[in-house]
């Protein structure tokens, strides 16, 4: 009798590939991209109070920050694959719950999808660090953006169009996409990550490095750039759709504007070449100055609301320029021995901006119309432009300059590993 052997792919899970992680990110982008412009419209349609909506986003932002900080500790006791699975299921449940279109259901649905996004993001990054070699992180980021571009470019406009046609449609599609994300995750057989022998020393706690962070002004400056940039996206993504509805421009305009803005992602190679020719300092200053001016212009009483929308859309182009360049001041200042811990601190900018922006908007709306939020965002961006004047003129020059025909020098370790945050993860 011939001995029957179990196939190798059944006995040992294949090593996850860069393409596999990119596909996983792409399916998640479909789920999030189709709802990103729908939720502000749904919130305003059910609550009808922009100040109350800002308060809700503020509270959800606090909850999201807390969950994001707790996930690494939860994974110590609960298998990581279960945490990721619960996150994807939570997204589907939140999306379907929002279809009830009652204030409580919509708020809970938004909270569940937001927490699910944070949960999946933390687990995703942990798997990437487990299975993707450092030399492949750049390839992973390029592939991730390529596979995610369709979801982020078409999703916002398609979401609001489907919502106007059948209000349940975008939420059903998001729930199905989240389920496909889970199926993709299971097919990759990531398990709980690589088996690591337990160390005798207690695991490093990112909070223990807070004193090192605050002792280095350059790190604080770089982190503030990330926070302000993310706040600009918050203003654009959440309050532009509400502004459009209030001024009779329709529910679809906000999603269309965001899709057009995300289409500028395909121009990032040109933006990178511009940064190489000028400098990091010049690029960062131009990004903050122009976006700040355009956001403030959007608040001027032109009498034509569409002019404000155009100003904000032009401002978002410079926010994408900042997505390309504004992370470098922090990353170039981090010491090699502290990159892991400082990256954990750096990633908090997303949750902090999710708290600061709706909190500030809540206060602004107590005394001013929604256009006052555009002023506040513009002031913050202009403040970052002034702060960027302190950057060294040749910051990162040796790392991003062109070496004849041989190509670019390597960016600092960890740069390509930090994804662009248009989606308000």
DSSP 199-253: PSSPPP-GGGGHHHHHT-HHHHHHHHHHHHHHHHHHIIIIIHHHHHHHTTS-SSH
**For the ranges 96-100, 260-264, 307-311, 380-384, which has the lowest average pLDDT?**
260-264
pLDDT at 414: 38
Greater confidence, 26 or 337? 26
Taken in order 165, 169, 170, 173, the sign of the CA dihedral is negative
16, 188 contact by CB (below 8 A): yes
- Return d(Cα 168, Cα 173) in angstroms, integer: 9
- Write the CB contacts of 166 (distance below 8 Å, at least 6 apart in sequence): none
pLDDT at 98: 92
Among 86-90, 395-399, 413-417, top mean pLDDT goes to: 86-90
Which structure tokens are listed for 375?
């002023």
Asked if residue 23 has pLDDT above 70, the reply is yes
pTM: 0.74
pLDDT at 328: 75
pLDDT average, residue stretch 223-244: 90
pLDDT at 192: 62
What proportion of the chain, given as a percentage, has pLDDT over 90? 24
- Return d(Cα 122, Cα 69) in angstroms, integer: 9
pLDDT at 338: 64
- Return d(Cα 235, Cα 238) in angstroms, integer: 6
pLDDT at 303: 72
User: Could you count the other beta carbons within 10 Å of the beta carbon of residue 421?
Assistant: 18
- Write the CB contacts of 123 (distance below 8 Å, at least 6 apart in sequence): 71, 75, 80, 83, 84, 87
pLDDT average, residue stretch 148-163: 85
Asked if residue 104 has pLDDT above 60, the reply is yes
> To the nearest 5 percent, what fractions of the chain are helix, strand and coil?
75, 0, 25
Which structure tokens are listed for 67?
């969950």
Split at pLDDT 50, 70, 90, the class of 410 is very low
pLDDT at 293: 95
Query: Which listed CATH number (1.20.1250.20, 3.40.1110.10, 3.40.50.720, 1.10.1200.120) goes with 208-425?
Result: 1.20.1250.20
**For the ranges 107-111, 326-330, 376-380, 409-413, which has the lowest average pLDDT?**
409-413
- Return d(Cα 25, Cα 143) in angstroms, integer: 9
pLDDT average, residue stretch 94-119: 92
Query: Which listed CATH number (1.10.760.10, 1.20.1250.20, 3.40.50.1450, 1.10.490.10) goes with 15-193?
Result: 1.20.1250.20
**Closest C-alpha among 223, 276, 240 to residue 384:** 223
**For the ranges 142-146, 147-151, 167-171, 265-269, which has the lowest average pLDDT?**
142-146
Which structure tokens are listed for 35?
């709802």
Asked if residue 178 has pLDDT above 90, the reply is yes
Split at pLDDT 50, 70, 90, the class of 336 is low
- Return d(Cα 295, Cα 313) in angstroms, integer: 9
**Closest C-alpha among 87, 69, 90, 68 to residue 79:** 87
**For the ranges 107-111, 146-150, 414-418, which has the lowest average pLDDT?**
414-418
The string of pLDDT tens digits covering residues 284-301 is: 999 999 999 999 999 887
pLDDT average, residue stretch 324-349: 70
What proportion of the chain, given as a percentage, has pLDDT over 70? 78
3 state SS of 402? strand
pLDDT average, residue stretch 375-384: 95
Cα 43 to chain centroid, rounded: 21
Greater confidence, 265 or 99? 99
pLDDT at 248: 85
**For the ranges 83-92, 128-137, 309-318, which has the lowest average pLDDT?**
128-137
pLDDT at 9: 42
The string of pLDDT tens digits covering residues 342-376 is: 666 776 787 788 889 988 998 998 888 888 999 99
pLDDT average, residue stretch 75-84: 86
The string of pLDDT tens digits covering residues 182-210 is: 998 888 877 665 544 444 444 455 556 67
Question: 217-234 vs 280-297: helix axis angle to the nearest 10?
Answer: 40
Among 14-18, 104-108, 363-367, 409-413, top mean pLDDT goes to: 104-108
Split at pLDDT 50, 70, 90, the class of 177 is very high
* CATH 1.20.1250.20 residue spans of the chain: 15-193, 208-425
pLDDT average, residue stretch 387-396: 78
pLDDT at 135: 54
- Return d(Cα 178, Cα 193) in angstroms, integer: 21
- Return d(Cα 399, Cα 276) in angstroms, integer: 10
């Amino acid at each position: 009798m011939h001995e029957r052997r179990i196939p190798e792919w059944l006995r040992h899970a294949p090593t996850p590939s860069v393409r596999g992680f990119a596909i996983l990110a792409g399916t998640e982008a479909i789920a999030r991209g189709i709802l990103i412009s729908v939720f502000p419209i749904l919130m305003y349609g059910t609550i009808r109070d922009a100040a109350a909506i800002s308060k809700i986003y503020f509270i959800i932002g606090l909850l999201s920050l807390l969950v994001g900080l707790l996930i690494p500790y939860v994974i110590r006791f609960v298998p990581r694959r279960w945490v990721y699975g619960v996150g994807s299921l939570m997204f589907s449940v939140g999306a379907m719950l929002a279809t009830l279109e009652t204030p409580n259901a919509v708020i809970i649905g938004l909270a569940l999808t937001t927490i699910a996004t944070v949960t999946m993001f933390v687990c995703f990054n942990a798997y990437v660090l487990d299975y993707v070699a450092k030399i492949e992180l750049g390839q992973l980021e390029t592939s991730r953006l390529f596979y995610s571009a369709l979801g982020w470019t078409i999703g916002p406009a398609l979401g609001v169009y489907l919502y106007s046609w059948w209000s349940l449609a975008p939420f059903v599609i998001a729930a199905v996409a989240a389920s496909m994300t889970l199926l993709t995750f299971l097919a990759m057989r990531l398990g709980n990550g690589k088996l690591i022998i337990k160390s005798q020393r207690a695991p490093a706690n990112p909070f223990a490095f807070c004193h090192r962070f605050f002792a280095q002004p350059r790190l604080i400056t770089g982190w503030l750039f990330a926070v302000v940039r993310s706040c600009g996206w918050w203003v654009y993504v959440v309050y532009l759709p509400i502004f459009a509805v209030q001024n009779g421009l329709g529910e679809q305009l906000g999603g269309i504007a965001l899709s057009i803005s995300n289409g500028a992602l395909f121009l990032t190679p040109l933006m990178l070449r511009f940064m190489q020719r000028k400098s990091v300092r010049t690029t960062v200053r131009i990004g903050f100055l122009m976006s700040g001016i355009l956001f403030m212009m959007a608040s001027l009483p032109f009498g034509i609301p569409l002019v404000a929308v155009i100003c904000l859309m032009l401002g978002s182009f410079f926010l994408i320029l900042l997505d390309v360049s504004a992370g470098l001041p922090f990353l170039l200042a981090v010491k090699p021995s502290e990159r892991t811990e400082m990256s954990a601190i750096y990633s908090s900018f997303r949750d902090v901006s999710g708290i600061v922006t709706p909190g500030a908007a809540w206060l602004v709306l107590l005394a001013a119309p929604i256009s006052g939020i555009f002023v506040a965002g513009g002031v913050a961006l202009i403040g970052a432009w002034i702060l960027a004047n302190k950057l060294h003129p040749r910051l990162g020059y040796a790392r991003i300059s062109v070496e004849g025909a041989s190509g670019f020098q390597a960016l600092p370790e960890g740069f390509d590993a930090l994804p662009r945050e248009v989606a308000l993860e």
